[in-house]
Amino acid sequence: MNNILAQVSPLVSTQVQAQIPVSKTIFDSAFAVYGLVDYVGNGGNVARFNNSGATTAERDFTAAELVDGSTYNTWLNGASTAATKVVKLYEQRGDSDLDIYNTSAGASPNYESSENTIRFDQSGYFQYSNLINTTATTKIKAAFEDNTTANDTTIIIGARKKDNTLYGLPASGRTLFALRDTYTPSYAYNAKHKAMTIKSAMYSDDIAVSVRDNDNEFVLKEHTTFDHSTLKTYIAEIARVPNPSTNLTDMNLFINGTQEVDFQSTDIGNDIDSGNILLGENRFIMKGAMLFNKILTPEEKTELQTRMALDY
């Protein structure tokens, strides 16, 4: 009898464990999740840093290692933290095809250790640091290309303006986080794109949602201020209205859960080439960024805002 029980118990235990529901979060339904916070809770590497004066020129870090008070400083080994560059952000859901990176440390954003954030900033004459993915074109196209009811797009950053000085202004007429085409030899703002953007105007810090379609029709709708005082959650939505008798595209922008842009455009066409993910190419401070190939429900927006705000 004891032998029979010994053989049956593991089977029963396995079946019971299989019936225990796995807790899901909003991040499980994301297309891609990036940042210095472990949003998905898997304990994996979130970023790779470069500092030529450190113990090793490059090192991967988990979110926990960045805030434990010792791992990062031990790696620095006396080197200046001002020289630390973020050369890669890992896609936290585990799809390494969607990692974003820069092969040039000089063109990569800085790590701000005092607040555990990423600083995108000027890296040359009219050049700004960025992280990009140009290799997962097929996946990106399948999820986001064109403007149909099958290509709903949500673009999210947890970010703030660098500071409240003239030199802290973001670059106007540049994107912050974009899905862009693979071929236009220009900034994402001038390429075919769906993006979180800074409006083009003198001394502008108007944060906006923008689209440029394959007919070069450009539509941008902005909120008047990209705040410098604290990190906030910015959610941009681009979605074709599911009504065959209309040619409407919803363009929305939410800031910390409050809708600041609510616009419907009749000008955006069906075709919007896409294939690259571009984060940065501007001046701002960031903690996290996400892409969803769907429109979040009000409850999902609240869940996402609540979780991201824990680390602001």
Question: What does the H/E/C string look like for 270-306?
Answer: CCCCCCEEEEECCCEEEEEEEEECCCCCHHHHHHHHH
Mean pLDDT of the 15-27 span:
63
In a domain, 15, yes or no: no
In a domain, 22, yes or no: no
Q: Is 276 exposed, middle or buried (CB count within 10 Å of its CB: 0-12, 13-18, 19+)?
A: buried
Q: Is 250 exposed, middle or buried (CB count within 10 Å of its CB: 0-12, 13-18, 19+)?
A: middle
In a domain, 10, yes or no: no
Q: Is 224 exposed, middle or buried (CB count within 10 Å of its CB: 0-12, 13-18, 19+)?
A: exposed
CA distance 166 to 197: 19
Q: Is 254 helix (H, G, I), strand (E, B) or coil?
A: strand
At 141-158, the pLDDT tens digits run 999 999 999 999 999 999
Residue-level pLDDT at 5: 44
Residue-level pLDDT at 192: 98
Whether residue 278 has pLDDT greater than 80 = yes
In a domain, 1, yes or no: no
In a domain, 41, yes or no: yes
Cβ-proximal residues to 59 (8 Å cutoff; 6+ apart), any chain: 48, 49, 75
Q: Which tokens is 137 given? A: 């074109």
Please report, for the domain that includes residue 171, its CATH number.
2.60.120.200
Residue-level pLDDT at 230: 97
In a domain, 2, yes or no: no
Whether residue 11 has pLDDT greater than 70 = no
Helix, strand, coil share of the chain (percent; to 5):
20, 35, 45
Mean pLDDT of the 81-89 span:
98
Of 5, 45, 308, 4, nearest in space to 160 by CA: 308
Residue-level pLDDT at 41: 96
In a domain, 7, yes or no: no
At 122-137, the pLDDT tens digits run 999 999 999 999 999 9
Residue-level pLDDT at 21: 52
The single residue listed with the structure tokens 């939505």 is: 237
Question: Can you give the length of the chain in residues?
Answer: 312
In a domain, 3, yes or no: no
Contact 215, 178 (CB under 8 A): no
Contact 19, 38 (CB under 8 A): no
Residue-level pLDDT at 214: 98
Whether residue 239 has pLDDT greater than 80 = yes
Residue-level pLDDT at 245: 73
Domain span holding position 243 = 29-309
Mean pLDDT of the 289-310 span:
98
The band of 300, judged by pLDDT with boundaries at 50, 70 and 90, is very high
Residue-level pLDDT at 9: 45
Mean pLDDT of the 43-54 span:
98
**Total domains, the chain:** 1
